[in-house]
Amino acid sequence: MYTELIQDKLDSLKESGQYREFVTINRINGQYPLAMLNGKEDTKPVVVWCSNDYLGMSQHTVVTEAMHEAIRMFGAGSGGSRNIGGTHYHYAALESSLAEWHEKEAALVFPTGYGSNDATLQCLFRLFPDCIVFSDELNHASIINGIRSTKVERQIFKHNDVEHLESLLAAQPIDRPKIIVFESVYSMDGDISPIEKIADLAHTYNALTFLDEVHAIGMYGPRGAGIAAERGVAHQIDFIQGTMAKSIGIIGGYIAASTPLIDAIRSFASGFIFTTSLPPAIVAACHASVEHLKVSDKERNALHHKTKVLREAFAEASIPVMNCSETHILPVLVGEAKKCKAAAKRLLEEHGVYLQPINSPTVPVGTERFRINVTPNHTEEQIIQLTSALVEVFHYFDIPFAHAKELVYV
């Protein structure tokens, strides 16, 4: 009975085009964004266009050398949770660096960015009696799970809509504990939140702010400290959450805040206390990457330049980049789950282009898309090849272009 029930669920996913399948992509060290398909090492490499390794730091020598040295000194594993035997001096160095980056007193590192959101939010909602949370409707699954895992009262405000948020805040007593949770750059649309206005509302209505900056750190703001720093309001944000799995190029999540707030999460968050810590090699590599990005503009400048080049190429070819995008994330609208999946398959098999279809429930039905991002490592030749491949595939599957004019592909 149980197997049949589960199989029905899986069959439904497959029928709707929402069933996810892994593509084994073996990235080639020193040649990112090139990768080999598993079992096809004798064929031409494919070009990866959907990695969150935004700046290519996973293969930067300053990172790999730090990792190798830490493995040589400490071995592979951490030995347990931070409380029992899994902390080491690299942790103190990394957390101090992260706190300074975000203009905060302290920081706390988690094994993943998902975990830092989930564990911190659950902990906060349980620490504050009669707390209410205000969450942007497009917040990440890790935020949603952190909220839903507690009995906290929740109010969902329309995406980036400060008027709606204010109406919700104004309906609550001024002395009731409140937390506003939002992101700076939204990963599927590539848009930016009105951080300054939300920070002002938080001050007016006596609310804490929790800002997810995972798709901004390293790439925006002075020394890559994120959008809040770019707009001069980082000091007004109570919690800044980030990840080391995207622009930093490795893995791990963190929060940065005041010393008492960080100490409270360290002391009460079960998702931190009872999990194995990151190995020394990972933490050392993260620290090396963060320190590099603080002083080097080379990678982020190249990212923004090549994003501009890619946007221009798409515009010329009438590839439909969704209007919401204002960052390095370019969502290309397909609009149908099965067609999106089939188009991704053709891009890979016929053109050597690796893109993953983004379907419901990650994005709303009818807005299925490719989430494309260039990196400093992509060449202009690869940009031209991607554009040409998309034009061919859009014609092949009769996917609407941005304009009505007929295009010829090469």
Transcribe 291-353 into DSSP letters: HHHHH--HHHHHHHHHHHHHHHHHHHHT--B-TT--SS-EEEE---HHHHHHHHHHHHHHH-E
- Residue closest to 184 by CA, chosen among 124, 233, 125: 233
Residue type at 371? R
3-state helix, strand, coil in the chain (%, to 5): 45, 15, 40
Q: H or E segment at 155?
A: strand 153-157
Sign for the pseudo-dihedral over CA of 324, 325, 329, 333 = positive
- Considering 151, 178, 197, 246, which one is annotated as catalytic? 246
Maximum C-alpha span of the chain? 66
Indicate the residue type of 305. Answer: H
Catalytic residue status for 14: no
Q: What is the dihedral of CA 195, 201, 203, 206, to 10 degrees?
A: -130
Distance of CA 82 to the CA centre of its chain: 25
> Are the C-beta atoms of 85 and 223 separated by less than 8 Å?
no
Active-site annotation, residues: 246
